[in-house]
Protein backbone atom coordinates (compact mmCIF):
# COMPACT_ATOMS: atom_id res chain seq x y z
CA UNK A 1 0.00 0.00 0.00
CA UNK A 2 1.24 3.44 -0.90
CA UNK A 3 1.74 5.79 2.10
CA UNK A 4 -0.47 8.87 2.13
CA UNK A 5 1.02 12.32 1.78
CA UNK A 6 1.40 14.00 5.17
CA UNK A 7 -0.54 17.16 5.94
CA UNK A 8 2.68 19.20 6.07
CA UNK A 9 3.45 18.22 2.48
CA UNK A 10 0.04 19.52 1.42
CA UNK A 11 0.54 22.74 3.38
CA UNK A 12 4.01 23.39 1.94
CA UNK A 13 2.71 22.75 -1.57
CA UNK A 14 -0.12 25.21 -0.96
CA UNK A 15 2.34 27.82 0.33
CA UNK A 16 4.44 27.42 -2.81
CA UNK A 17 1.31 27.69 -4.99
CA UNK A 18 0.24 30.85 -3.14
CA UNK A 19 3.68 32.40 -3.68
CA UNK A 20 3.53 31.44 -7.37
CA UNK A 21 0.10 33.06 -7.73
CA UNK A 22 1.36 36.22 -6.03
CA UNK A 23 4.26 36.55 -8.46
CA UNK A 24 2.03 35.72 -11.42
CA UNK A 25 -0.32 38.50 -10.32
CA UNK A 26 2.71 40.83 -10.15
CA UNK A 27 3.48 40.07 -13.79
CA UNK A 28 -0.15 40.57 -14.82
CA UNK A 29 -0.32 43.86 -12.91
CA UNK A 30 2.87 45.06 -14.64
CA UNK A 31 1.28 44.38 -18.03
CA UNK A 32 -1.88 46.24 -16.98
CA UNK A 33 0.06 49.30 -15.82
CA UNK A 34 2.59 49.31 -18.68
CA UNK A 35 2.04 53.00 -19.56
CA UNK A 36 2.35 54.12 -15.95
CA UNK A 37 5.62 52.22 -15.55
CA UNK A 38 6.97 53.87 -18.71
CA UNK A 39 6.05 57.37 -17.48
CA UNK A 40 7.44 56.83 -13.99
CA UNK A 41 10.65 55.31 -15.35
CA UNK A 42 10.53 52.08 -13.38
CA UNK A 43 13.89 50.32 -12.90
CA UNK A 44 14.99 48.39 -15.97
CA UNK A 45 11.76 49.34 -17.74
CA UNK A 46 8.40 47.60 -17.51
CA UNK A 47 9.79 44.32 -18.81
CA UNK A 48 11.69 43.63 -15.58
CA UNK A 49 8.66 43.15 -13.28
CA UNK A 50 7.07 40.95 -15.95
CA UNK A 51 10.25 38.86 -16.26
CA UNK A 52 10.70 38.69 -12.48
CA UNK A 53 7.08 37.73 -11.88
CA UNK A 54 7.06 35.01 -14.52
CA UNK A 55 10.41 33.54 -13.45
CA UNK A 56 9.50 33.43 -9.76
CA UNK A 57 6.00 32.13 -10.50
CA UNK A 58 7.54 29.34 -12.56
CA UNK A 59 10.04 28.53 -9.81
CA UNK A 60 7.38 28.36 -7.11
CA UNK A 61 4.89 26.40 -9.25
CA UNK A 62 7.64 23.92 -10.15
CA UNK A 63 8.58 23.64 -6.48
CA UNK A 64 4.94 22.98 -5.53
CA UNK A 65 4.58 20.26 -8.16
CA UNK A 66 7.89 18.66 -7.12
CA UNK A 67 6.85 18.70 -3.47
CA UNK A 68 3.42 17.27 -4.25
CA UNK A 69 4.94 14.49 -6.36
CA UNK A 70 7.38 13.79 -3.50
CA UNK A 71 10.40 14.39 -5.72
CA UNK A 72 13.66 15.60 -4.21
CA UNK A 73 12.96 19.14 -3.00
CA UNK A 74 16.32 20.90 -3.45
CA UNK A 75 15.30 22.54 -6.72
CA UNK A 76 12.45 24.34 -4.99
CA UNK A 77 14.72 26.92 -3.33
CA UNK A 78 15.87 28.83 -6.36
CA UNK A 79 13.37 31.51 -5.37
CA UNK A 80 15.33 32.29 -2.21
CA UNK A 81 18.52 32.90 -4.17
CA UNK A 82 16.64 35.06 -6.70
CA UNK A 83 15.09 37.15 -3.88
CA UNK A 84 18.47 38.13 -2.43
CA UNK A 85 20.09 38.58 -5.82
CA UNK A 86 17.31 40.97 -6.79
CA UNK A 87 17.39 42.76 -3.45
CA UNK A 88 21.16 43.27 -3.28
CA UNK A 89 22.39 43.36 -6.90
CA UNK A 90 19.64 44.38 -9.32
CA UNK A 91 18.22 47.14 -7.14
CA UNK A 92 19.09 50.61 -8.46
CA UNK A 93 19.28 52.09 -4.97
CA UNK A 94 20.54 49.17 -2.88
CA UNK A 95 20.52 49.45 0.87
CA UNK A 96 23.60 48.27 2.73
CA UNK A 97 23.25 44.87 4.34
CA UNK A 98 23.32 46.47 7.83
CA UNK A 99 20.03 48.30 7.04
CA UNK A 100 18.34 45.05 6.09
CA UNK A 101 18.73 43.32 9.44
CA UNK A 102 14.97 42.81 9.99
CA UNK A 103 14.53 41.37 6.50
CA UNK A 104 17.52 39.09 6.96
CA UNK A 105 16.36 37.80 10.37
CA UNK A 106 12.79 37.27 9.14
CA UNK A 107 14.05 35.52 6.00
CA UNK A 108 16.33 33.21 8.01
CA UNK A 109 13.48 32.33 10.39
CA UNK A 110 11.07 31.65 7.52
CA UNK A 111 13.66 29.62 5.60
CA UNK A 112 14.46 27.66 8.78
CA UNK A 113 10.75 26.93 9.26
CA UNK A 114 10.38 25.68 5.68
CA UNK A 115 13.61 23.65 5.82
CA UNK A 116 12.52 22.14 9.15
CA UNK A 117 9.20 21.18 7.62
CA UNK A 118 10.93 19.65 4.62
CA UNK A 119 13.29 17.76 6.90
CA UNK A 120 10.33 16.34 8.84
CA UNK A 121 8.69 14.98 5.68
CA UNK A 122 11.95 13.63 4.25
CA UNK A 123 10.99 9.96 4.87
CA UNK A 124 8.04 10.43 2.51
CA UNK A 125 10.12 11.92 -0.32
CA UNK A 126 11.40 10.05 -3.37
CA UNK A 127 15.14 10.45 -3.96
CA UNK A 128 17.14 9.84 -7.13
CA UNK A 129 18.66 6.38 -7.63
CA UNK A 130 22.19 7.71 -7.03
CA UNK A 131 21.24 8.79 -3.51
CA UNK A 132 19.80 5.36 -2.67
CA UNK A 133 22.98 3.47 -3.44
CA UNK A 134 25.48 3.07 -0.65
CA UNK A 135 28.61 5.10 -1.10
CA UNK A 136 31.81 3.26 -1.90
CA UNK A 137 34.88 3.96 0.26
CA UNK A 138 37.54 6.13 -1.35
CA UNK A 139 40.34 3.98 0.02
CA UNK A 140 40.67 0.63 1.71
CA UNK A 141 42.76 -0.66 4.55
CA UNK A 142 44.02 -3.55 2.46
CA UNK A 143 43.43 -7.21 3.00
CA UNK A 144 42.52 -10.30 1.08
CA UNK A 145 39.05 -9.24 -0.07
CA UNK A 146 40.04 -6.30 -2.27
CA UNK A 147 38.67 -6.16 -5.81
CA UNK A 148 41.19 -6.28 -8.66
Question: In this structure, is residue 94 part of a structural domain?
Answer: yes
Own/partner contacts of 117-121, CB < 8 Å, gap of 24 or more, are: 117/8, 117/11, 117/12, 118/12, 118/73, 120/8, 121/6, 121/8, 121/9, 121/12
Question: In this structure, is residue 133 part of a structural domain?
Answer: no
Question: In this structure, is residue 139 part of a structural domain?
Answer: no
Number of domains in the chain: 1
Regarding pTM above 0.85, the answer is no
Question: In this structure, is residue 117 part of a structural domain?
Answer: yes
Question: In this structure, is residue 135 part of a structural domain?
Answer: no
**pLDDT per residue rounded down to tens, the chain (148 residues):** 567 778 888 888 888 899 899 999 999 998 998 888 888 887 777 888 888 889 889 888 888 888 878 776 555 566 677 777 777 777 666 667 677 788 788 888 877 887 787 777 777 776 655 545 554 555 555 556 555 5
Select from 46, 54, 45 the least CA-distant residue to 27: 54
Domain span at 109:
7-126
Question: In this structure, is residue 148 part of a structural domain?
Answer: no
Are the beta carbons of 47 and 74 closer than 8 angstroms? no
Amino acid sequence: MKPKRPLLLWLLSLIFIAAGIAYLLQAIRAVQSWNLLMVVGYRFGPLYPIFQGLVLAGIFFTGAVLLFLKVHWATAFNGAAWFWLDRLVFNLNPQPLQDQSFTLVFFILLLGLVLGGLWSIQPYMIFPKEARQESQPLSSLGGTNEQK
